[in-house]
Amino acid sequence: MTTSTPRHPPGPRWRISLSNERFAGLLWQIVVVGIAIAVVAWLWSNAIHNLSVRRISTGFAFLGREAGMPIADTWLAYSPQNTYLRAFIVGVVNTLRVAAIGIVLATVLGTMIGIARLSSNWLLSRLAAVYVEVLRDVPLLLQLLFWYVLMQGLPAARAAWKPIDGVYLSNRGLVLPSIPIEGGNLWVMAAAAVGLIGCYGLRRRLIARQMLDGQPRRLWPYALVLVVGLPALVSWGLGVSWTITMPELRGFNFVGGLTLSPEYFALLVALVTYTSAFIAEIVRSGIQAVPRGQWDAAMALGLRRSFVLQHIVMPQALRVIIPPMTSQYLNLTKNSSLAVAVGYQDIVSIANTTLNQTGQAIEAIALIMAVFLTISLGISLFMNWYNARIALVER
């Protein structure tokens, strides 16, 4: 290509020449895609060859075989005689269990610390700043190992630390009183859920009516009836007994109650504290992004500060907060895979054991990736829906 030849204007004209934009574009695509396909094909043919040499059969048939691996901490019924498929499902549930509870707790803690950072109380805001700085600048894996070592250093079950009656913290983990989830209790919980959904629908209708005539309407009397009254009625009607199971020390361990294993508890604490530091920064910058005039205008109307924060600043701050919050939720979920370092059996840990037992490396890693891609996609979709809901409606 010489500089004196005039360049062809981009358009429908076709010429087989490198100076033709469309031709060059097509050529580039063919070359790049060709290289990508060639590399993948080469890797694949190597893999097929290596697998046949090592006599490893490919495919997911191994999922139906007996797993023979013990899983200590599970919510589903599982024994080592179960299949690999069942073990994987237990792993997925364990991952979701730590991720879902972690997301909720990290959001609550992070929001509190983010607001504390903006407090007019100097001591509180400095303390929050130190918390954020220290937790953000140390690797999560190190923090996780640290918490786990601390958990192991706790006294034995006999000398368990007991902050309130029925709550024990020892090197066996955290033991809490629990309510049995079965029979009539389930119906009561279902009634509470129905009440909550009803409340939500009612709130929307009340707001819609307020839009019409400007009269504010009270929600809480209805809410009381729906959320407390309805379950109480069901409970009374069915004659459900609400016995709380208190954990008891028998021999070397606890019987009854809800036990959070040291591994689960360490992982949860590490994930929640680490992620909350990031969420705190997001909340802080979100609140600061709301123009000062909004504060001033609301204060000039004589509203209380907590009311201003809740009804005027927060709804606007949420629009800034939600997108980065989504990526923190995704990070927390992905970071829960560090469970393997302390021996909490999440999906990665179980896939890793499977891989060592069967040699099905490609399948095991593909399963891990499929699970996480699905979870990531789910969280993204939900957060996008929520983001669209709270977005500013512009004309």
- Give residues in contact with other proteins (CB under 8 A): 7, 25, 28-29, 32-33, 36, 43-44, 46-47, 49-51, 53, 112, 115-116, 118-125, 127, 133-134, 136-143, 145-146, 149-150, 153, 287-288, 292, 295, 305-306, 309, 313, 334-335, 337-338, 340-341, 348, 352, 355, 361-362, 365, 368-369, 372-373, 376-377
- Of 233 and 377, nearer to other proteins (C-beta) is 377
Task: Report, in Å, the least distance between residue 158 CB and other proteins.
Answer: 17
**Backbone phi, then psi, for 161, in 5-degree steps?**
-80, 130
Task: Report, in Å, the least distance between residue 345 CB and other proteins.
Answer: 14
Task: Report, in Å, the least distance between residue 353 CB and other proteins.
Answer: 12
Tokens, residue 134: 């220290």
With b for 16 or more beta-carbon neighbours within 10 A and e for fewer, the 250-268 pattern comes to eeeebebbebbbbbbbbbb
Q: Which of 113, 111, 107, 112 is nearest to 129 (CA)?
A: 113
**CA–CA separation, 364 and 250 (whole Å):** 40
Q: Which of 263, 371, 251, 388 is nearest to 319 (CA)?
A: 388
Neighbours of 219 (CB within 10 A): 14
Neighbours of 16 (CB within 10 A): 7
- Of 292 and 389, nearer to other proteins (C-beta) is 292
Q: Which residue in the block uniquely carries the two structure tokens 């600061």? A: 288
Q: Which residue in the block uniquely carries the two structure tokens 């972690």? A: 102
Task: Report, in Å, the least distance between residue 364 CB and other proteins.
Answer: 8
- Of 43 and 391, nearer to other proteins (C-beta) is 43
- Of 194 and 361, nearer to other proteins (C-beta) is 361
The secondary structure element, H or E, covering residue 95 is: helix 84-117
For 132-147, the three-class secondary structure string (H helix, E strand, C coil) is: HHHHHCCCHHHHHHHH
**CA–CA separation, 37 and 385 (whole Å):** 36
The edge-to-edge listing of strands for the beta sheet with 168-170 is: 168-170, 173-176, 258-260
Task: Report, in Å, the least distance between residue 197 CB and other proteins.
Answer: 30
Task: Report, in Å, the least distance between residue 336 CB and other proteins.
Answer: 8
Alpha helices in 305-360 (DSSP H): 305-308, 314-335, 347-358
Task: Report, in Å, the least distance between residue 172 CB and other proteins.
Answer: 18
- Of 28 and 60, nearer to other proteins (C-beta) is 28
Task: Report, in Å, the least distance between residue 262 CB and other proteins.
Answer: 15
- Of 7 and 15, nearer to other proteins (C-beta) is 7
- Of 288 and 316, nearer to other proteins (C-beta) is 288
**Backbone phi, then psi, for 203, in 5-degree steps?**
-60, -40
- Of 170 and 259, nearer to other proteins (C-beta) is 170
